[in-house]
Structure 1
Amino acid sequence: MAQTIVENQVQQERYRHIDVNGRLASLIHLVYALLWWLLFSNNDLMAAPTLWLLGIFVVSLLRIFIVKRARSFKNDVSTPIFGIACSSGLVWAIGILILMPALSGDMRLMLLLMCLALLSSVVFAFTLSRRAINGFCLPPLLALLICLDYSNRLELAAMMVVLFNYSFILLSTRRAMLLLDDNMQRLFRHQAQVEELESSQQKMLFQSQYDQLTRLHNRHHYEEQLEHYWSLCQRANSPLSVILIDVDFFKPFNDAYGHVAGDRCLSEIAALLKRAMIRRHDVLARYGGEEFVIVLPNTDAIGAQTLIQRIQKLIFEAHIQHQYSKVSNQVTVSMGVCCMIPSAQQSARQLVEKADQALYKAKETGRNCFVISGRGEQHEHARTQNRRVN
């Protein structure tokens, strides 16, 4: 699979080269054809060269279109590119067959030398496709061999130079393709390895910070953030609140509905808690089992109570059925809250312990409620309107 991906990337890189170079080569060929038309056509034979020049123009536009669309084709585009290379070569061959017989002396030799430059330009136009290079070069070469005056030693020598140049093009492009393919494959393999490593690192980072089931932060990340915000609030002399949340009668729910339903219930509760959160810097985490924890920096007890009431409302409206609860026909939660202004004489652990004591008191007072523990161990509790209906 990985090898196929690398090969596809190499192929796409080839088409990118053909796209970039092919457009410029098409413009060069148009200018070159116009130069041929000006140099080698004469007043007695103007119609055929003009039609040939028009053919060069059409084929050049078609080639620009093909190479421009090369990377958007789903299938292999080597055949269309080979076809357009053959078409270009045939049009140039027709031009040679039209122009060369009407020339004499030095003009024939000049045309041969200009064919040498024409064949050299194909390396730029179809750098990474030997098949396309052959498709372009062979028709003009055959046309030259047909029109060549074999009794003229200068023409024969010029033709030998053209053939030698063609052989050199084939050898050099083969070597260049092997080197480029090897380098591109190494590059893409390296990129694939880097991407795989980054993906593994991101996965490990996610696993180290998030709970797999609920997709919330895990306890380790929560503890780090709690210490961080404790220090910040201590320096700023601002309140820090912690809310501990416990799903009421979750064990009977798990036993009655099954562990899959239990996991789904925890995931739904986690999603509801996320919806209740407004500020991005607040921390929501899975504390363990069916317990969740929220850290609210720069938040007093009133602000924490506002969030609690929003959580109660969302859970009540979710109507997660729980026929085995002793306080309601649907899933409910109990919450314990503690708010402190951090100081050097206290610790974040004490804040959590007080929130845990408040949660314990909420369970003792009948569950489906919250208890706020403030300074001086003063408690308040409030119960939702969600009661069990027998």
Structure 2
Amino acid sequence: MANSKELVLSDSVGCPEFIQDLLPSAERTALLYHLSYLCLGGFPRLESLIRERALETQTLFASSGAVLLKCVSTSNNLVKSLFPMLMHAVENNEPSVAVKHLEKARSWIHDIIKDVEDMVYRYEHHNLSVASCTSDVFQEQSDNENQLVEHSDHIKNLNKAIQKLDEEMKKTVQDVANLEKKIEEKNAELERHLEHTSKKSNGMSIMAALVPFFGLLIKFIVDAATVPGEAAKTQSLKADLSRLTNEKRDLQNKEWDIHVKQTELELELASAKIHLGVIPDPVHLKDVQKCLSQIQQILVDLKKFWEKVASLLDSLQNKTFVAEDLIDELSDMKDDFLMSIEVAEECWARFGSSCQKAQAIFSVQFVDEYKFLDISPSSLTAAQRQQQHDFILNKLNHINTRASLK
């Protein structure tokens, strides 16, 4: 157990992966709105519709940032209030004090769960609003305009190229989905293994309750190596998971490369249609919906994470501070408990920092990334429009590819 005090926390240990995925999703949303605005903004009614939806998204992002700030506050409360009081309760053999503070922590966490649940509902409702906007674009297109498009060889060739990329994208998306299923199964196997291993050691059991992050628990088991064979199995499962995750990341990179190529061709297609006086298809609004759905799923994962934390703290309270037989034995595992709290403090501080960064992402999006709405696309020259197209494509090319459109 002494080795575990020397743990060096990596950046990922205190940050569940879903938090890190917020950045590319939020950035893409603004850029895709910008493309939609440029392509459809020359048509007054559509320009107004897109502006309304973009402003709704901007407001939603501000609310999302507020929820993440609450996650930061709760993480800080765990570090500065709950954990010190648990240490005090253990050192002074006062289980009733520990129970009182665990119940307070549970109320903080249930407040967050309720707030995140509300945000998930708001994203779902908003996505339907964007979908309605997309339908309105199609309704604006007339049969006469479609006939003009059908007689353009350039547009026909662009449609064929896009169709070819669509087929390649479908295959890649399916490959990613297959890998995600394998990763989910391997994660479940690893979680069962960690739960089984933690039951064999008081110290590990306490650590599992206070620090619900796989990375740290894996390192704890490997470093402690108190049960023969457990460390080796943990390493093997971790290696399998890392291999699958790397394969998925490679495929997601390929998926994003295809998406960028599609975006370039779709912009060229939109320009060709606009030149004919035809309303282009709202492809970028569809991509906005995908990004919003991804952010919604990230919030669902955040809700599940806090539900898991609440369950673990309940278990800690019931098994350690309520059961009379364990209270009598508390002095025997005092060192393990205190060491676990020390590690938990550092880990939760990092998680709070990660949530702070995620909150800052939404704050920047709210303040800066929707300024393009201040200028009507119809007032731009062809050169200015092209300049903005190039700028957006360049930014899309440089976005972190960890979270792909699905």
What TM-score results when the alignment is normalised by the length of structure 2?
A: 0.24
What TM-score results when the alignment is normalised by the length of structure 1?
A: 0.25
Which has the larger helix fraction? 2
Which has the larger strand fraction? 1
